[in-house]
Amino acid sequence: MISRRLRFLPRRIFAMAHHALFQGEFTTFRRPRTYAQMLARKNLGEQPALVHLTADKYAVRAHVAERVGEQHLIPLLAVADRAEDLDLESFDEPYVVKGAHGCDMTILVREPASADHAAIRSTVARWLDTDFYRHGWREAPYRGLPRRVVVERFIGDGTSPPADYKFFMFHGEPAMVVVDQDRFTDHTSTLLHPDWCGYAVSGRFAQAGALPQKPAAYDEMIGIARKLGADFTFARVDLYDVDGHVYFGEITHNPGGGLVRLQPREFDRALGDLWREGTPIPERFVRRPVV
């Protein structure tokens, strides 16, 4: 609520106030040191065309197909820029509706036969009426994107979404993997070193009680994340493993709006050092198994 009331501020002042509100520190971003500060400064700068393209959940599909192969795309059932153009009655398998021009725009439809099509179209119409850059957290990658929705097949068992593996890529190399499980029920978000051991770090959500199972296609996922992250100083590449097959989720350039507070704060600084200078993450943050 406080964040929404700050929208009248100029961009840099808005970013400074937002950072102070969520990160608990004041900075002008003139000399960013931490990961959160680096994200904020990047968001304030000019966005390359490839950033805008890959932030668009529809346009990015062609880019992913070219870089890693269309077999990694979730099957597309429909794309529309008007809610009334969605032929929801024709879908006879579980599906997912997503806003392509922002985030937090997702509807899971597990049982198409009993879906409330009027409610879905009403929600989609609201999404399409929303300029996510202006009405969100002024995330620059979404600025000016065409407003449209995509409908994709519900991958996995059709009842609950598969685990979401988020690869934090710095200069094309993974520094952290966040595993989101049970996202729409009992959500956990576990922060891991790429060697598949836990970080002694906490973020926005609770972590799983046990180390998540390493996906069968993990090595392939790392390779795909490297190819998709190679064009950016930083990007988060989201992937799924469904019975050993890797699917692409999205590329995110400003995770959590750059506002997630990592604890301890020294880890935020360590990620900033990695981003700026290539300094490896200190081992004191890694929970390696005792041999």
- Considering the entire predicted model, what is its pTM? 0.95
Q: Please write the tens of the pLDDT for every residue from 258-269.
A: 888 999 999 999
Q: Cβ neighbours of residue 184 under 8 Å, at least 6 residues apart?
A: 108, 160, 161
Asked if residues 100 and 54 have their Cβ atoms less than 8 Å apart, the reply is: no
Segment 100-120 mean pLDDT: 95
User: How many angstroms separate the Cα of 289 from the Cα of each of 176, 196, 198?
Assistant: 17, 10, 9
Q: What ranges do the domains of the chain cover?
A: 75-154
Asked if residue 92 has pLDDT above 70, the reply is: yes
Cβ-contact 197, 181 below 8 angstroms:
no
Q: Is the pLDDT of residue 54 over 70?
A: yes
The mean pLDDT value for 234-252 works out to 97
Q: What is the pLDDT of residue 187?
A: 84
DSSP 8-state class, residue 281: P
- If you search the block for the tokens 């529309």, which residue do you land on? 80
User: Which residue from 237, 253, 261, 266 is spatially nearest to 41, judged by alpha carbons?
Assistant: 253
Contact 37/19 with Cβ under 8 angstroms? yes
Per-residue pLDDT reduced to its tens digit, 137-147: 899 999 999 99
Whether residue 290 is predicted with pLDDT greater than 80 in this model: the reply is: no
